[in-house]
Amino acid sequence: MKSNPRAILYLADNCMFSSLEVDYLDVLSFHRNNGNLDITDATSKYYRGDSDLLNGILKSKGINFIPFEQVEFEDYDYIVAYYGVSSLEICIQDELRLRDLIINSLKDPDSIKDDRYKSFTVNRLDCLSKNAYAELSDCGINESKIIPCTLLCNPDFSIDKFIKLRKNPPTILANNCFGRYTYFSLGIPFYSPFVNITLNAREHIKLLENPRHFIENGRLVFAGMRDLKTRDLNSGQGLSQPLQNSENESQTKLIPTAYLETDTDRVLIYCNHYSTFEDFEKVWNRRKKRINYDNIIGVLTTESSEYLERFSRLSYPKLCFLRDDQIGNLVIDAPEFEQGIVRVNYSMFVKFNQKFYGPLGRGIPDNDFMTVSNNVGMRSFPFYKLLEFVTSGKLVFTDNIHQDLSLSSYLAKMVWG
């Protein structure tokens, strides 16, 4: 009988141990109990194992801490890279305080009086932005053995799917930030330039119908600074001219926009999270090189059903979030799920997030349907099996929504935090 793959948990330089205790050890226990990974040990290059409290917490979950210098990584099939934080306000405050202490200590080592923080203060400033994945790679660990901690927040995780994901990563073509959050969930780089941007539904469905033509043959052209609040995310009407600066400019958010145009057509892109067109162009060209045309996934978010027929005819894996507030007390209704179409009652969706995530749900606007797919991307509503979708193209409903919510709550806290 084949034994379960053996793994060791690596605690990152910048991880928050409180989040490990509150959320993530239960994630590890889930996968151990389900035979996915046998996680028996933990280590860290920076934590020295001198906390009886943390060591006791690890032992309560059947995990033994081993100093980094004593670890024989070849004895393990995989290393789980834990780079978690907690969004609990007290933990965020502690983390900020810790970072201030580190920075100040580099200027004045004698300023640190708290022994708990002294081990964090030597040559650490350049490590603050690193996560465990980068730390392990820097230590010469084979990347094929490193499992990002966020990946285990998906209940349908398996080693087979992990291997498939590495060999054939998805390129997500979404018209909002769904791809960005999904890549966070998968713990992999952005294999798509469609990150931190917005397209309206009319423009995006046109691109989805012929993605290689637009991406490979298209050129980016600056389309002016426009007000993000005036975008029509469904029809695209009224967007042909750049918005001129107005007397109420203080109440607007002017962002760069760009045309991705070929010799015969063009689509308009709102560069939401970029200060200048030049910044967006550099990032676009860099991520464009990572595109995997063997695993394209199309994602459309819209409040108009006008484009559903065209969307359903797309031949590659796809997912459409359509606003439909006529479905009673359901958050989602998916009669066309096999076609990749999910109908969403937005008001119920907002209530759902507030119920399960409390303070984390604050800030979800009651008039911006784009937040639906963004939240699904960060797994705060894991109604389908993400890894099955990105590795096989099959959309499958989750088996146990409450179990999946419990497992993904850590990830949602990490992303929102």
Question: Mind giving me the DSSP string for 198-218?
Answer: B--HHHHHHHHHSHHHHHHH-
Contact 277, 256 (CB under 8 A): yes
Per-residue tokens: 104: 């100040």
| Burial of 115 per CB tally in 10 Å (0-12, 13-18, 19+) | exposed
Would you state the pLDDT for residue 36? Answer: 93
Spatial distance between the Cα atoms of 411 and 417, rounded to a whole number of angstroms: 10
Spatial distance between the Cα atoms of 135 and 153, rounded to a whole number of angstroms: 21
Per-residue tokens: 13: 């330089």
Helical (H) or strand (E) element with 115: helix 115-118
Q: Where are the alpha helices (DSSP H) in 142-228?
A: 159-167, 178-186, 201-209, 211-217
Would you state the pLDDT for residue 357? Answer: 74
Q: What are phi and psi of 257, to 5 degrees?
A: -125, 160
Count of alpha carbons within 13 Å of 127, Cβ hemisphere only?
A: 19
Residues 6+ apart with CB under 8 A from 358: none
Longest dimension (CA), the chain: 74
Would you state the pLDDT for residue 405? Answer: 87
Residue with the two structure tokens 């409450």: 402
Spatial distance between the Cα atoms of 322 and 343, rounded to a whole number of angstroms: 5
Average pLDDT, the chain: 82
Spatial distance between the Cα atoms of 320 and 337, rounded to a whole number of angstroms: 9
DSSP 330: -
Per-residue tokens: 25: 């050890």
Spatial distance between the Cα atoms of 100 and 97, rounded to a whole number of angstroms: 5
**pTM (predicted TM-score):** 0.84
The residue ranges of the chain whose pLDDT is under 50 are 1, 86-99, 101-103, 105-107, 109, 112-130, 236-250
Would you state the pLDDT for residue 243? Answer: 36
